[in-house]
A and B are shown apart, each in its own frame.
Chain A
């Protein structure tokens, strides 16, 4: 009972006052370590990172360090690779998200019914989430290998491509390699989140609908979807941001190639920082990515607000 505890605080006499002080401070003792660590390891570097984007900090050119104003951003504006990366980020994010979501929803609906061996099934289909990303990326790179990988041979067998060739080396198609790997890896996440939401729907609603003679589709569209909608909006928003920031898969599978055709903003940040050691420019790209994501989140939140109101 939270309200009961609040009444213990008249604060008049001294003993009570020290108790009150402890009562005020106690929460911070518990949350303090988390705050300190996040402040030191995430927030402080974040501010530092934003300041880097206005400086020239390239480890390979140690004598040209200093504040340069908006020079990095001006260079970014002129950078063709940056604009390609924006388009690629959109394709990467939408492509991954679309399939992850629908396959995840299907899986969640399936797991919300009962069948024999369901617990084993659940453990097995969630397994891709546990596979370390770099391993997923390496395995899929192997599966796409034109000589020894099965995918090109299957596609050729189906007549979709003329002969097994290196799809990851084709600038038009290469992005779909990492996207497929990302779909595989991301379906369990959506399934788990949506399953949790599904299980929170009171079963009385379904029983009542059953009695009233509602069809399966009616039950899905009138009960399940409205209940899931708020969860879906939030999950999709968070996941979009997460996927857009997720560079591992692309870095390992294609390294951004061929000819920058799979370079997304976040992998561009990483290669600029890691390979070129140009921290100033990398930070400018990162800030641009942050602004794009912020704009996206704001738009989505406004739309959601409007939808809730009407």
Chain B
């Protein structure tokens, strides 16, 4: 497609204008977030709408690092990593199953997974609260990990399936001919080839769990088990004046999910593409 050489200068200009538009559109809010975090408190009101602050400070970050936010950060890390690991493991197994087996009930199970993607998840927020409260697990990070894992399994399963579909079946069949069990073949032959897929799934679930707010608000009320979003919102309502610190905390929250995302976004396109080619 890129072989067309003759291009009018007008079109090239239009293309670069579009590139510029999308860059500004995507980056401006992020820039603003970081800018506020670096602006000294005294200047936030006087220089509110200036593009560049006249002075920079790291005081907000220093203040945040000494507050409860480190605890929220740790809680969020535990929950997100736990959910990401759990989901990836379970979804990889299910995705492998969809990719390699034909069995009774397969279509029904796939339909079931699709249905879970369609109905309002908030519908189960009240029942989940009651169940978790009944189990005495309110304010426990374990309940959040289990809930997030379940929520992300359907999408992660389809993602993993598309990665497994991209790996020729002959590879493990050859290994099974040579006397491996299916599980051994999976572990020794297929697993190394799906590492990018596993990475993408991990990153996807991590990002999703990292930003989940409403269920965490419902299930967590004790300060020492709050995740980052809950902590930040409580922060807003408690000290609504200190925007600089809040944005500094926000900037810190941005780091892990953006790191993960930059790593995974290529694989996400890849995974979706191979899925699209197949079906």
Contacts and interface: CB of A to CB of B under 8 A. Distances in A.
A166 interface: no
B128 interface: yes
Given A184-B25, A273-B129, A27 B103 contact: yes
Contact of B18 (A24, A110, A127, A206): A110
A138 interface: yes
Which of A27, A48, A114, A231 counts the most B-chain CB atoms under 10 A from its CB? A27
Interface stretch (A69-77, A78-86, A115-123): A115-123
Interface stretch (B63-71, B189-197, B261-269): B261-269
27 contacts: A6-B102, A27-B97, A34-B157, A37-B150, A38-B153, A38-B154, A40-B150, A41-B147, A45-B127, A48-B127, A48-B131, A106-B18, A121-B19, A121-B22, A124-B27, A127-B261, A128-B26, A132-B207, A132-B229, A135-B232, A138-B236, A142-B33, A148-B49, A149-B49, A200-B273, A203-B1, A273-B122
Contacts of A43: 112, 116
B216 to A, nearest CB: 10
Contacts of B236: 138
Interface stretch (A11-19, A168-176, A287-295): A287-295
B119 A46 contact: yes
A203 B277 CA distance: 13
Interface string B210-229: 11011001100000000011
Given A30-B97, A123-B265, A126-B265, A49 B19 contact: no
Nearest to B131: A45
A132 B211 contact: yes
A148 B48 contact: yes
Contacts of A130: 207, 254, 257-258, 260-262
Contact of B90 (A34, A138, A196): A34
B120 A269 contact: yes
A308 interface: no
A245 B214 CA distance: 12
A247 interface: yes
Contacts of A187: 25-26
Contact of B122 (A31, A150, A247): A247
B262 A38 contact: no
Contacts of A30: 93-94, 96-97, 101
Given A41-B128, A126-B265, 7 more contacts: A139-B29, A147-B45, A150-B48, A195-B269, A248-B213, A274-B214, A293-B119
Given A121-B23, A125-B22, A132-B229, A200 B277 contact: yes
Contacts of B157: 34
B127 A52 contact: yes
A42 B116 contact: yes
Interface residues of B, number: 94
Contact of A266 (B101, B122, B253): B122
A46 B18 contact: no
Contact of A24 (B103, B120, B253): B103
Contact of B106 (A27, A114, A197, A206): A27
Nearest to B217: A274
Contacts of B149: 37, 41
Contacts of B23: 121, 124-125
A135 B48 contact: no
Contacts of A136: 29
Interface in B155-173: 157, 169, 173
Which of A34, A206, A289 counts the most B-chain CB atoms under 10 A from its CB? A34
In the A-B complex, the 6 residue pairs with the smallest Cβ-Cβ separation, listed nearest first, are A148-B48, A132-B211, A130-B261, A41-B150, A30-B97, A196-B272
B190 to A, nearest CB: 12
Contact of B15 (A28, A110, A126, A238): A110
Contacts of A297: 118
| Main SS at interface, chain B | helix
B122 A149 contact: no
Interface string A189-217: 00011011101100100110010000000
Interface string B101-121: 111001001001100111111
B40 interface: no
Nearest to A47: B127
Given A149-B49, A279-B126, A293-B118, A27 B101 contact: yes
B199 interface: no
A121 B127 CA distance: 43
B265 to A, nearest CB: 5
B93 A34 contact: yes
Contacts of A252: 213, 233
B116 A113 contact: no
B229 to A, nearest CB: 4
B19 A197 contact: no
Contacts of B146: 37, 41
B123 A286 contact: yes
A38 B113 contact: yes
Contacts of B58: none
Nearest to B89: A33
Contact of A138 (B116, B154, B182, B232): B232
A139 B33 contact: yes
